[in-house]
């Protein structure tokens, strides 16, 4: 099988600009690992074991803040539940692919990959596969490198800067970018508000109560919309 | 060690969520009510996380003027520019300045 260089180049060219918004996440993940006092290798291993910025940041910052491990794991998994939608949307395209690619492809299916590759779904299977792998390899390599860079920068940053506040800042950005209808804004406000009310629950488990309340209210509002 | 095991669990769960329909349920569709609820998972969890990360060890929430101003400004900048780097830089600056002033 000869690799089509034109497709590989196009995939890399498409992937690079989409990686830029992920850079602050990668660096903050590295910093958060250092601040959380987690073993650097354990913390960084999330970059290839999970390969998903929001979930990695959730897990690390919650573990570092003394949350119950089960609550941190649950929250990180719930953050990544949106990938179910990507998986379902790509399932028909992947049926035309060889078995090894059906196993490998989902590992690379991050938000940016979904956005890039869902619009390539109508291409012939080999072109799709080449494009998908080249774009995925680009994101993967840059992600490993930039999270490691953040880890290296971590010890240099003074604690008084309170850089752990960067995590809520990045999360509010993700919320704002994701809001395309008002029930989502309400879901975010209810999620935060209820968590505030039950903040006294042990080991930050209140965040699961808040998140559930936000999902329920958002879904209910959406159902009531004409 | 606990952190590494937790990471492995989240990694396996993440892979499952990305692969389950591609590997096993290609003929299945996500039921409509689940699809509806899934849209609200990200905003609800992220909203809850912001507050959870600001909870102090005594159960109080560190949501004073510096935090609220910075989050408000940060959210506004993302809305206007869609630029996470700018959000981060300006948001942190606002946080430091307001904290120094009060």
This model of the complex carries an ipTM of 0.86
**B9 vs A204: CA distance, rounded Å:** 19
Q: What percent of chain A has pLDDT over 90?
A: 42
CB-CB under 8 Å, B67 with A67? no
Length of chain A: 226
Cα–Cα distance list, A63 to A56, A71, A137, B13, B15 (Å): 11, 9, 29, 17, 21
Query: Residue A165 CA to chain centroid, in angstroms?
Result: 18
Q: Which two tokens stand for residue A67?
A: 């949350």
**B95 vs A118: CA distance, rounded Å:** 39
Other beta carbons within 10 Å of A221: 17
User: In sequence order, what are the residues at sequence separation of 6 or more whose Cβ sits closer than 8 angstroms to the Cβ of residue A93?
Assistant: A121, A128
pLDDT at A1: 54
**A136 vs A46: CA distance, rounded Å:** 17
Higher local confidence (pLDDT), A160 or B8: B8
Cα–Cα distance list, A26 to A124, A162, B33 (Å): 34, 17, 34
Region B40-68: mean pLDDT is 86
Q: What angle do CA A186, A192, A195 make, to 5 degrees?
A: 135
Other beta carbons within 10 Å of B55: 24
Average pLDDT, chain A: 88
**Chain B residue with minimal CA distance to A175?**
B43
pLDDT band at B77 (very low <50, low <70, confident <90, very high): very high
Chain A residues touching residue B62 (CB < 8 angstroms): none
Query: Residue A179 CA to chain centroid, in angstroms?
Result: 16
CB-CB under 8 Å, B3 with A172? no
Region A152-172: mean pLDDT is 81
DSSP class of residue A180 equals S
**A47 vs A30: CA distance, rounded Å:** 10
To the nearest 10 degrees (0 to 180), the angle between helices A166-178 and A23-36 is 140
Out of B18, B54, B91, closest to residue A86 by CB: B18
CA nearest A139: which of A24, A30, A19? A19
Task: Work out the minimum CA distance from A107 to partner chain B, whole angstroms.
Answer: 6
| pTM of the entire predicted model | 0.80
DSSP class of residue B55 equals B
Provide, for chain B, the percentages of residues in helix, strand and coil under a 3-state DSSP scheme, each rounded to the nearest 5: 75, 0, 25
Chain A residues touching residue B96 (CB < 8 angstroms): 161-162
Q: Which two tokens stand for residue A72?
A: 């941190």
Give per-residue pLDDT as tens, A54-97.
899 889 988 988 888 999 999 899 888 878 878 888 888 898 89
pLDDT at A15: 87
Region A178-184: mean pLDDT is 90
User: In sequence order, what are the residues at sequence separation of 6 or more whose Cβ sits closer than 8 angstroms to the Cβ of residue A166?
Assistant: A24, A28, A31, B88, B91, B92
**Could you tell me if A168 and B67 are in contact, meaning their C-beta atoms sit under 8 angstroms apart?**
yes
Q: Which two tokens stand for residue A5?
A: 């260089």
Residue written as token pair 């080249």: A134
């Amino acid at each position: 099988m000869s690799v089509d260089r034109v497709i590989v180049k196009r995939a890399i060219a498409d992937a690079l600009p989409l990686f830029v918004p992920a850079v602050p996440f990668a660096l903050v993940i590295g910093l958060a690992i250092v601040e959380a006092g987690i073993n650097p290798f354990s913390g960084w291993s999330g970059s290839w074991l999970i390969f998903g910025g929001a979930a990695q940041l959730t897990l690390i910052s919650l573990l570092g803040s003394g949350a119950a491990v089960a609550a941190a794991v649950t929250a990180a998994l719930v953050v990544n539940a949106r990938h179910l939608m990507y998986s379902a949307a790509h399932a028909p395209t992947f049926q035309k692919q060889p078995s090894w690619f059906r196993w490998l492809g989902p590992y690379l299916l991050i938000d940016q990959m979904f956005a890039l590759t869902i619009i390539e779904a109508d291409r012939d299977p080999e072109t799709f596969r080449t494009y998908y792998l080249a774009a995925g390899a680009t994101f993967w390599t840059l992600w490993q490198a930039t999270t490691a860079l953040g880890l290296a920068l971590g010890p240099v940053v003074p604690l008084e800067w309170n850089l752990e506040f960067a995590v809520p800042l990045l999360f509010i950005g993700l919320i704002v970018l994701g809001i395309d209808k008002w029930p989502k804004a309400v879901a975010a406000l209810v999620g935060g508000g209820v968590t505030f009310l039950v903040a006294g629950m042990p080991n930050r488990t209140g965040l699961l109560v808040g998140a559930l309340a936000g999902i329920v209210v958002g879904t209910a509002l959406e159902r009531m919309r004409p | 060690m606990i952190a590494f095991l937790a990471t492995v669990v989240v990694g396996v769960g993440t892979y499952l969520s990305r692969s389950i329909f591609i590997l096993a349920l290609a003929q299945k569709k996500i039921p409509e009510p689940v699809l509806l609820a899934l849209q609200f998972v990200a905003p609800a969890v992220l909203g809850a996380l912001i507050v959870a990360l600001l909870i102090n060890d005594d159960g109080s929430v560190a949501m004073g003027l510096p935090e609220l101003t910075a989050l408000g400004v940060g959210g506004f900048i993302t809305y206007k520019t869609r630029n996470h780097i700018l959000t981060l830089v300006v948001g942190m600056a606002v946080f430091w300045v307001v904290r120094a002033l009060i």
